[in-house]
Structure 1
Amino acid sequence: MELTGVSSDFICDSSTFSAAMRDFISRQWARWPSLLLDDEDLPESPPTDWTFPGDSDEKMPGILTFCRDEQMDTFWDNNGYAIEPTSGEGPFAVFFSLATHPFYARNLVDVHEIRPLNKPSAEFQGTQLLLAQYIKATLLTPDDPSDDPFSQSVLRDFLTSLGGQQLAARLMG
Structure 2
Amino acid sequence: MDLTGHATDYLVDATFPEAMSRFVDHGRRRWPDAHVNGRPLPPQPARPWHLPEPEGDGYPDIVTFSSGQEMEDFWEENGYALDAAGEGPYAVFHRLHPTVQDGSPQAKEETALPPAGHYTVSLVTPDDPSTDPFSQTVVTDFEASLGDAGARLRTR
Q: Shared fold by TM > 0.5? A: yes
Q: Distance in 1 between matches of 2:120 and 2:129?
A: 20
Give ranges in structure 2 of 5+ residues lacking alignment. Answer: 101-109
Aligned to 1:92: 90
CA deviations on 1:64-119 (whole Å, 9 max, x unpaired) are 100101111111111000000x21000000011111155856xxxxxxxxxxxxxx
Indicate yes or no: 2:65 matched with 1:66. yes
For the 8 Å contact 1:6–1:140, the answer to whether it is kept is yes
Shift of 1:21: 0.2
Equivalent residue of 1:71, what SS? Answer: helix
Equivalent residue of 1:8, what SS? Answer: strand
Change (3 A) 1:48 1:146: same
Amino acid aligned to 1:6: H
Which structure is richer in relative contact order (CA contacts within 8 A, separation 6 or more)? 2
Shift of 1:147: 0.3
Aligned to 1:9: 9
Q: Distance in 2 between matches of 1:35 and 1:49?
A: 13
Q: What percentage of aligned pairs have identical amino acids? A: 41
Aligned to 1:141: 125
| TM-score calculated relative to the size of structure 1 | 0.73
CA deviations on 1:13-69 (whole Å, 9 max, x unpaired) are 02x011100000001100001001111011122560403514837231x11100101
Equivalent residue of 2:56, what SS? Answer: coil
Equivalent residue of 2:123, what SS? Answer: strand
